[in-house]
Amino acid sequence: MKNSVPNLRAERGWTQGDLAKHLRVSRQTINAIETGRYDPSLPLAFAIAKLFKHSIEEIFQP
Amino acid sequence: MQVETRQALIIWIRTFGLTMAVYMALLAAATRALTSMGASPLRTAVILAPILPGLALIGLTVRAYGRCDEFIRLRMLRAAALAAMVVAAFALIYFFLELLGLPHLSTAWISNIVWVVFVAQMVRLLATGK
């Protein structure tokens, strides 16, 4: 699944580690999501959407 | 890696290594008791003693699983699945090799193979993130 997490994170000047701390997951999880190696669970996708103040559909595209 | 998840894996590696050392020590004692001790309750206890740290290895791993985030949990499940498949392949191949005359192996080898394959993947994940 494609996603705009790298762009949204970059807009805020955050590192992957910063985003990981906000979401309370590992940096490896963020890296795996950003590179498309891992599709997050629904709760994590909602947490990402809430953090960036976007809808899930705006962030994740099939 | 987030501090909590990374710390959980590091704690798991350390406690796993320590528990494995205890297991090996008790295994050595049990092996010696098999040949050097006469039948007694003490001999039975010494021979059965390695079961406790052996089961503790499983408990430690389950606890670490519960402390990690979803991606690391997925990697742990994948590592466990690969370990199971390696054991299945080994058991299948060695069954036929036994028919050709290779010595019979104890089922304890299954545990050894599982842990070697599983721990190797977890150490790699911790060291490289891959």
- Domain assignment of residue A7, yes or no: yes
* B1 pLDDT tier (thresholds 50, 70, 90): very low
For residue B128, pLDDT beyond 80: no
For residue B121, pLDDT beyond 50: yes
Q: Could B71 and A25 be called an inter-chain contact, meaning their C-beta atoms sit closer than 8 Å?
A: yes
Break chain B into its structural domains and give their ranges: 3-128
What CATH number does residue A8 fall under? Answer: 1.10.260.40
User: What count of Cα atoms within 13 Å lies in the side-chain half-sphere of residue A31?
Assistant: 10
Amino acid (1-letter code) at residue B113 = I
Q: Could A32 and B71 be called an inter-chain contact, meaning their C-beta atoms sit closer than 8 Å?
A: yes
Contact B26, B50 (CB under 8 A): yes
Per-window interface: B 41-70 vs A, CB < 8 A: 68-70
- Domain assignment of residue A60, yes or no: no
Complex ipTM value: 0.84
- Domain assignment of residue A61, yes or no: no
Chain A residues closer than 8 Å to B2 by CB:
20-21, 24-27, 29
pLDDT in tens, A22-55: 999 988 899 999 999 999 999 999 999 999 999 9
Query: Percentage of chain B surpassing pLDDT 70?
Result: 96
pLDDT in tens, B29-60: 999 999 998 889 999 999 999 999 999 999 99
- Domain assignment of residue A45, yes or no: yes
**At A29, phi and psi to the nearest 5?**
-65, -45
Report how far residue A53's alpha carbon sits from residue B18's, in angstroms, rounded to the nearest whole number.
46
Structural domains in chain A (count) = 1
Tokens 């466990």 found at? B80
Report how far residue B129's alpha carbon sits from residue A17's, in angstroms, rounded to the nearest whole number.
13
Query: Under DSSP, is residue B92 helix (H, G, I), strand (E, B) or coil?
Result: helix
Distance of CA B67 to the CA centre of its chain: 19
- A60 strand-pairing partners: A3
